[in-house]
A and B are shown apart, each in its own frame.
Chain A
Amino acid sequence: MTSVSHRSNKELRPVSKKGFFRTLAGQWQLMLMSVPMLLYVILFNYAPMWGWITAFQDYKPKAGIFGSKWVGMKNFMWLFGREDFINSIRNTLAMSVINLVFGTVSSILLAILLNEVRNRGFKRTVQTVTYLPHFLSMVIVVGMAQNIFASDGAVNGLLKSLRLVKEPVFFLGEGRYFWWLVGVINVWKEVGWNTIIYISAMTSIDPSLYEAAAIDGAGRFHRILHVTLPGIKSTFVILLIMNIGHLMEAGFEIQYLLGSSVVMDWSQTIDIFVLQYGISKQQYGVATAAGMFKSIVAIILLVAANTLAKRLDEDTLL
């Protein structure tokens, strides 16, 4: 989750041409401060785009960009001709959407609950406990999940003792459970962390609004509905737009670690596909083509979400 400092963009409306240089001169300290960031972006985000050329080559590191053979759209044709690449696009999007919905709903819910808690000590404790898993390495989290969801694990034990199932459910080996398992694990790991941003948005809501609502006879539920939720709406929209921009990244570690060959059809994401068929097999052109495809889809999604938000007259990112 990146910061929400973009909110201040609103105040930086473009100035008229005449005043542009004057404003620039007037803000030279600010400009100076932004130089390192600018350099960073140029160096690490724009300069590597030169490498996109290799998406149209049969790139060999030994030959370099100038010596490698041009193959036109062959890398793209190869990718989209493969069923497992199409599957991995489907898996990536499905798991992203599940993560996004689960993640957002759970963190807003928890933030609201915590916001309503009046006992400071309890609130702090819950917050700390829920965000600690964020600092655990995915290897550990997946190891725990594998134990919990194994045929003789805790979940199956519970289901059995409640007589909900007769035979243990094969959570780890059946494809149809995989996406949801990833969603659940991600919620467990990230819910506390994602809550922080919403709680901070809630603290910035003017307390007089709550008082006014209370005087008007609004109960606790109505105050949540009509004060808290509208109060965090702009944060929600900004985060949503940013997350939509990341829809093509469903994560990598969790699928890589939790997936096994029996669930490959459901667990393989674009990144894993690229690693397996692009980098491991020295098809660097194919790897670049897949990366390029991802970036272009991400840009389209981002712009679309932003436009939609603008239409709905919300705060936007761009």
Chain B
Amino acid sequence: MRKLISVLLVLAMILAIMPAALADGAPEPITLTVFRGDPGDQPAEDNKIYKLIEEKFGVKFEFEFLAGDLDEKLGLMIAGEDYPDLFDGGNSADLIISNGALINLLDYVNPEDTPRLWAHIEPQKARLIDKDEDGNDVLYIIPNYGLTDGDQIVNEVNGPAFFVQKQVLAWAGYPQIHTLNEYFDLIEKFIEANPTDENGSPYVGFDILCEDWRHFCLINPVQHLMGRPNDGEVYICVTDQNYAVTGNDPSEEFKTETFIDKPYAKAYYQKLNEEFHKGLISKDTFVMNYDQYIAQLSSGTVLGMFDQTWDFGNATAALKDAKMDKNTYVALGLVYDPEYVDGQEIEEHYVNGSLPNVRRGFGISVNCECPERIVAMWEEMLSDEWQIIFNWGIEGEDYYVEDGRLLMTEEQYMQRNDNAWKVQNRALAFFESSPKKQGWILDGEFAGNAWDPANQPEIVLGLMNDYDKEFLSAYGYSKFADFVNPPIELAPYGEAWQIDYTPVDVDHQDFLNIQDKRLPELIMCDPAEFDAKWDAFVEEITPSATAFGEYMQEAVRAEAAKVLDK
């Protein structure tokens, strides 16, 4: 009897398992380890999008986010060859690539097996595909951003700019601010008339964040004041259509130099020194960490700063949440006044053409046991259906459709700013670093809609708050990007900050360290000593600046050649 029961039990078990194994080829469940090269939030256990992914692809994720310094973390991972399956090395992916941590995706991505992925990268092939030491084509990372469809969308400045609180412009009667002097004059006058906010907290004129890699707020502005978009730490003199300074002289083509050690940089820091002694800049800004910076911005007491829009998104969200719309920021495209650059009139170019985020995003590590499965998953996820799930969510819950338009109610759109909601209802930890469609939906059922709700015209205009509407109409603008010039055509080399500088890593680190140490000193020093201190700074930084600059000159030309040749 007992035997019979056990046989029956075994049979029952087999029968129970069978359908699962046979069900329309449901893939064997796996868990992928994922590293993200930036801090982030762990998704909730019962996140609805990850549940869908698990049901459809049998894939679960185990996320690790960056805590601390990226290069240090990657250095340790490389030393131990301790790689996750999906590996996002952030801005230092070059380190993991040069140490052989990633597989070549071209072994799996091709027009036949993965038509969507191929169509996705094909237009920017020249920028994306590199040659390895043996001359083979290699692609380690499909960019997480910047492969866009249709016309470039510029509703607001999302990159670098000088920022100023909207109330400052409103107070001054909505003036046009285009130069460094105009900008600081405006802030000075405002702070003179309004030393404190309505709660009695003193206003800070200008903040400079110097922490770690975010020191671009301290060291990057000069190139923009000279009229170039973001090339990182070099200034590329492009004055004619041949991307040369003058005519057809090849040695002038893509002329690249570090700018921080040049006379035209001195003017900016001397100006900051002046403003420091006028009390517009506080000493504490140089020892502030990122959290303190965001907290200060969120309090609404900081009138201006140089930064990039995405870098203080949390502060903007906090200000909006607190209904302090007048304390949110406008991006201005400032240039040097002619007096600083021998009378030259400079045209501003803060917004660049749409740029693939080359070598940034997920790669698949050599330790991964199922790369073909991940690629197949990405291929499937580039379908309209999945892209809409990732961008918009679930129809009826997170968005609704009316006459072929994807729409959201105000509540549906606003909850997307809520972190607690996001970890439950969006798969950002995975999606942000994965290949994705951006720009406009070109064909199919939803053609003409934007992939990202934040770019959907009905949402951009319909959900703008009254303060912003009034503010824009006072200027006669329709969008905040109208404060700066329209985008220029992307130069063949892309943007130089993307260039892999690992071969001159140590020089580059010295180059940055000296700036981090000396620039705050220069801003705070006695104005009478400024000239002498500047000369000492230039002397100190010249060796590393030269080494880095020479390398970048070659690299920029090589990068441009890749695009121009093909």
Beyond A62-B100, A281-B506, is A261–B78 a contact (Cβ under 8 Å)?
no
Verify if A295 is at the interface (C-beta below 8 Å from B).
no
* Mask of A277-289 contacts with B, CB within 8 angstroms, 1/0: 1111111100000
What A residues does B506 contact at CB under 8 A? 277, 281, 283
Given A261-B517, A264-B516, do A281 and B78 touch, yes or no (CB 8 Å)? Answer: no
In angstroms, Cα B95 to Cα A276, docked, is 14
Chain A contacts for B72, CB-based, 8 A: 275-276, 279-280
Would you call B78 and A262 a contact (CB within 8 A)? no
Contacts A62-B100, A264-B516, A281-B506 given; does A173 touch B69 at CB 8 Å? no
**Chain B, residue nearest A276 (CB):** B509
What residues of chain A lie closer than 8 Å to B75, measured between beta carbons?
278-282
A190 within 8 A of B: no
Q: Which residues of A contact B323 (CB under 8 A)?
A: none
Residue on B with the closest CB to A283?
A: B506
Task: For residue A270, give the distance in angstroms from its CB to the closest CB of chain B.
Answer: 15
Taking the complex as formed, is A290 at the interface, i.e. its CB lies under 8 A from any CB of chain B?
no
Write the chain A residue with the least CB distance to B92: A280
Q: How far is the CB of B160 from chain A (nearest CB, A)?
A: 20
Bound complex: CA of A98 vs CA of B74, how far in Å? 34
Q: Confirm or deny: A61 has a beta carbon within 8 angstroms of a beta carbon on chain B.
A: yes
Question: In the complex, which residues 281-300 of chain B have their Cβ closer than 8 Å to any Cβ of chain A?
Answer: 282-284, 286-287, 289, 292
B193 at the interface (CB under 8 A from A): no
Asked if B559 CB lies within 8 Å of chain A CBs, one says: no
Task: State whether A279 touches B76 (Cβ < 8 A).
Answer: yes
> In the complex where A261-B520, A265-B517 touch, is A282 in contact with B282 (Cβ < 8 A)?
no
At the interface, yes or no: B122 with Cβ under 8 Å from chain A? Answer: no
Let me know if B215 is at the binding interface, CB within 8 A: yes
Given A62-B99, A277-B509, A282-B99, check contact A261 B516 (CB 8 Å).
yes
Interface of B is mostly: helix
Shortest CB-to-CB span from B321 to chain A, Å, is 24
B76 closest partner in A (C-beta)? A279
Given the complex, which residues of A lie within 8 Å of B282, measured CB to CB?
Answer: 151
> Is B78 a contact of A260 with CB atoms below 8 Å?
no
A262 and B520 in contact, given A172-B287, A280-B75 (Cβ under 8 angstroms): yes
B17 within 8 A of A: no
| B260 adjacent to chain A (CB < 8 Å) | no
Q: Is the CB of B513 within 8 A of A264?
A: yes
Cβ of B564 under 8 Å from chain A: no
Instruction: List chain B residues, Cβ under 8 A from A173.
Output: 283-284, 286-287, 520
**In the assembled complex, which residues on chain A have CB atoms less than 8 Å from the CB atom of B74?**
280
> Which B residues touch A282, using CB under 8 A?
75, 78, 95, 99, 505
Give per-residue flags for B90-104: 1 if the beta carbon is below 8 A from chain A beta carbons, else 0: 000001000110000
Q: In the complex, A64 Cα to B466 Cα: how many Å?
A: 63
**Is A52 in contact with chain B by the CB < 8 A criterion?**
no
Residues of A within 8 A of B76 (CB): 279
One digit per residue, 1 when the CB lies within 8 angstroms of any chain A CB and 0 when it does not, for chain B 544-561 equals: 000000000000000000
Cα A60 to Cα B99 in complex, Å, equals 8
How many residues belonging to A are interface residues under a CB distance threshold of 8 Å? Answer: 27
A260–B287 alpha-carbon span in the complex (Å): 6
**Contact string against A for B residues 58-90, beta-carbon threshold 8 Å, 1 for contact and 0 otherwise:** 000000000001011011101111000000000
Within 419-478 of B, Cβ neighbours of A (below 8 Å) are at: none
Residue in contact with B99 in the complex, picked from A61, A84, A260, CB distance below 8 Å: A61
The number of A-B residue pairs with CB atoms under 8 Å apart is: 78
> Residues of A contacting B71 with CB < 8 Å?
279-281
- Tell yes or no: A46 within 8 A of B by CB: no
- Separation of A264 and B80 alpha carbons in the complex (Å): 29
* Contact B509 A260, beta carbon cutoff 8 Å: no
* Residues of the A chain whose Cβ atoms lie less than 8 Å from the Cβ of B481: none
A150 at the interface (CB under 8 A from B): yes
Contacts A170-B283, A173-B283, A264-B513 given; does A281 touch B505 at CB 8 Å: yes
In the bound complex, do residue A264 and residue B517 qualify as a contact, i.e. CB atoms below 8 Å apart? yes
Report the minimum CB–CB distance from B460 to chain A (whole Å): 38
Output the nearest chain B residue to A170 by Cβ-Cβ distance. B283
Q: Which residue of B lies closest to A259 (CB)?
A: B287
B237 is an interface residue with CB less than 8 A from chain A:
no
Q: Which of B69, B80, B520 contacts A280 (CB 8 A)?
A: B69
* CB <8 Å contact, B79 and A284: yes
Alpha-carbon gap, A280 to B516, bound state (A): 18
A183-241 residues at the B interface, CB under 8 angstroms: none
Q: Does B231 belong to the interface (CB within 8 Å)?
A: no
A65: min CB distance to chain B, Å: 12
Cβ distance B178 to chain A, nearest Cβ, rounded Å: 31
Take A261-B215, A261-B520 as given contacts and tell me if A279 and B283 are in contact as well, using a CB distance cutoff of 8 Å.
no
Residues in A whose Cβ lies below 8 Å from that of B78: 61, 282
What's the Cα separation between A281 and B74 when bound, in Å?
10
Q: Mark A144-157, 1 if CB is under 8 A from B, else 0.
A: 00100011100000
B210 CB within 8 Å of chain A: yes
For chain A residues 242-270, which have a beta carbon within 8 Å of chain B? 260-265
B38 within 8 A of A: no
Considering the complex, which residues of chain B in the window 503-543 have a beta carbon less than 8 Å from any beta carbon of chain A? 505-506, 509, 513, 516-517, 520-521
Which residues of chain A from 269 to 318 have a CB within 8 Å of any chain B CB?
275-284
Q: CB within 8 Å of A: which of B176-224?
A: 210-211, 215
Residues of A within 8 A of B99 (CB): 60-62, 282
In Å, the complex CA distance between A173 and B76 comes to 30
**Inter-chain contacts of A262 with B (CB < 8 A):** 210, 286-287, 516-517, 520-521
- Measured CB to CB, the closest approach of chain B to A169, in angstroms, equals 10
State the CA gap A62–B78 with chains docked (Å).
9
Residue of A nearest to B520 (CB): A262
Beyond A170-B283, A260-B211, A262-B517, 14 extra complex contacts between A and B, CB < 8 Å: A60-B99, A61-B99, A146-B292, A261-B517, A262-B210, A262-B521, A264-B513, A264-B516, A280-B72, A280-B75, A280-B509, A281-B75, A281-B505, A282-B95
The 7 closest A-B pairs by CB, nearest first: A261-B516, A280-B71, A279-B75, A172-B287, A260-B287, A262-B520, A281-B505
Q: Give me 22 A-to-B residue pairs in the complex whose CB atoms sit less than 8 angstroms apart, sorted by A's number.
A: A61-B78, A61-B80, A61-B99, A62-B100, A170-B283, A173-B284, A173-B286, A173-B520, A261-B215, A261-B513, A262-B210, A262-B287, A265-B517, A278-B75, A279-B72, A279-B76, A280-B71, A280-B72, A281-B71, A281-B506, A282-B75, A283-B506
